[in-house]
Structure 1
């Protein structure tokens, strides 16, 4: 759409150039100000995505406002208690529509303890903190095809499962936890929970005869269709590609589908940039590695990851909206 309409094209080019410059400036910034540059780099990338999306009309593709506001920041010693409340409208809501993603409704309030584990990037630094058990899970496709004496199936390991599930592996808690991952629905039998190298995993199996039959027929009739979401292999429909791997994401606070990682980054970075901008003393304490139980290492790791994750997610979103237009 940015190539078809000159006005959209100008918005697209200007916003993407600003996004790149904000992110480049963040590379050389210290943690004291880094979240500000990264957040505005993401915000301008969102405006470029909106300009390129045919899901948005001429009145929608130039959004206004943050669409969220940060709460519980004043003299806050606990990073994970900082919350983000959704507004009725704003830039992230417009970007969600542009990329066909769910987003939390107005007045929904999420803490950083809930948001942080939704990003695969945070996995190496979560262990010391008591965060939400609903995390991004790495999806490891094991096998698919016909059983020796039964119908077709799909099987996969879910990696990064909370320890609390291993302790409750024979209780209904496991199924209740799995229910928060809507794209995993339809599994059969009993989930197998295993401890592998100190990490907890769950193995799930899905009956897939009808899906496989339809997929194979579509592949036979037109191999080029395999790139479209509705005709991809069943296991691809259950997972989201992120950072070169496949991940399963939970749906929280009333949404029926997972919120796109780009929008999770939006909420987290808004919170961090608000702390840095409006509560400099609080922020200085949070990024001080010498403070007891400091989250400084987790914050710095997240900001380092953002410098590669945000451009990659932006490129994927632009490819998505372009494919939607041409398709």
Structure 2
């Protein structure tokens, strides 16, 4: 339930006079002739039993992508485990309950993921600049587009113009604006940006170098001290943060290595698997790219207001 707020006019009362009325959660705050009745946000109607009933019912009428196949089994099993863990947490004390609640939530997350839009591992793999030369499959790929900011310096054209690299050959060979526009629809950062918005400090002031870089930074993502347009995967918007993409790729590889050791051994066998070299390279580059990306991300989040 959202906090409710109503007012009524009455005779002036002493400022900051607080009188509890009606119940322990409603306060009559009187000042300057106006009284407000406020229901704190902590007051809400929670019915976990009804929620678990809804979740149990959904196991036979599975939603979204969990309607059939392996996702259906994952959805029903994970939700059942989540409910059992939450029940077990109710029966133990605070020394143990955090573990059970956390793993219950983790299994519920698996159910949510099973019902959500399909996200293929190779699509996430392709979003990393480190994998540009190491595809997992021969399918058409959506990879990051490198943006060179060197041309921004000294350019006084009213448009912000930057070279963009790694556009696929088939788009370049087509040469039409229609082909380029269709391709760039998968890159949310390019949407709606075709001109530079000036910030005038005088009647005829031109945008300066810092202002151009600021605009470019707003359109692109920072990765290892460079700028990129990143693709959206599985029709999602906005694009994945590159650190999240790394996390997803390494999580998948770690789960294979830990829980499917035989399959993992097959994948990294250079004599029998076309995935072996790409996996070797991505793990090598993880040791180089991640420290820089972590440092950049910490710098990024500390500037958030």
TM-score, normalized by length of structure 2? 0.55
Match of 1:207 among 188, 195, 200: 195
What is the match of residue 183 of structure 2?
177
2:129 pairs with 1:120:
yes
1:156 corresponding residue in structure 2: 162
Counterpart secondary structure, 1:155: coil
Shift of 1:154: 1.2
Answer whether contact 2:160 2:212 (CA < 8 A) is retained: no
Q: Offset at 1:268? A: 1.0
SS in 2 for 1:253: coil
Count of residue pairs the alignment pairs up? 197
- C-alpha displacement at 1:113, in angstroms? 2.0
Displacement after TM superposition at 1:231 (Å)? 9.3
How far apart, in 1, do the equivalents of 2:281 and 2:228 lie? 20
Distance 1:237 1:317 in 2: 15
Q: Distance in 1 between matches of 2:166 and 2:104?
A: 32
TM-score by length of 1: 0.52
1:136 counterpart (131, 138, 144): 144
Cα distance change on mapping 1:307 and 1:87 into 2, 3 Å = farther
Partner of 2:217: 236
Give structure 1 stretches of 5+ with no counterpart.
Answer: 1-62, 70-84, 90-104, 188-205
Change (3 A) 1:280 1:305: same
Inter-CA distance 213–321: structure 2 relative to 1 (3 Å threshold): closer
Q: Measure how far apart 1:304 and its partner are.
A: 1.1
Give the direction of change, closer, same or farther, for the CA distance of 1:161–1:87 in structure 2 (3 Å limit): farther
**Contact 1:135 1:249 survives alignment (8 Å):** yes
- 1:313 is displaced (CA, Å) by 2.5
Equivalences for 1:1-327 in 2 at 5 Å? Answer: 64=102, 88=112, 107-126=116-135, 129-141=137-149, 142-143=151-152, 145-147=155-157, 152-170=158-176, 172-187=178-193, 206-208=194-196, 211-213=197-199, 233-291=214-272, 294-324=274-304, 327=305
Tell me: CA distance 1:298–1:164, structure 2 relative to 1, closer, same or farther (3 Å): same
CA distance in 1 between counterparts of 2:117 and 2:234 reads 7
- In structure 2, relative to structure 1, the CA distance for the partners of 1:236 and 1:173 (3 Å cut) is same
CA distance, structure 2, for counterparts of residue 66 and residue 303 of structure 1: 31
Instruction: Name the CA distance, whole Å, in 1 between partners of 2:261 and 2:120.
Output: 20
Q: What's the Cα RMSD here?
A: 3.5
Larger radius of gyration: 2
- Larger RCO, structures 1/2 (Cα 8 Å, 6+ apart): 1
Partners in 1 of 2:173 and 2:187 — Cα distance? 20
Sort the Cα spacing of 1:65 and 1:261 in 2 relative to 1 into closer, same or farther, 3 A: farther
Which secondary structure state, in structure 2, belongs to the residue aligned with residue 319 of structure 1?
helix
Q: More strand by proportion, 1 or 2?
A: 1
| Deviations, residues 51-79 of structure 1 (Å, cap 9, x unaligned) | xxxxxxxxxxxx9469989xxxxxxxxxx
Contact 2:124–2:233 under 8 Å retained in 1 = no
Confirm or deny: 8 A CA contact 1:114 1:131 kept in the other structure.
Answer: no
* Aligned partner of residue 156 in structure 1, secondary structure: coil
- Corresponding residue SS for 1:110: coil
Corresponding residue for residue 45 of structure 2 = none
What is the DSSP-based 3-state SS (H/G/I as helix, E as strand, rest coil) of the residue aligned with 2:302? helix
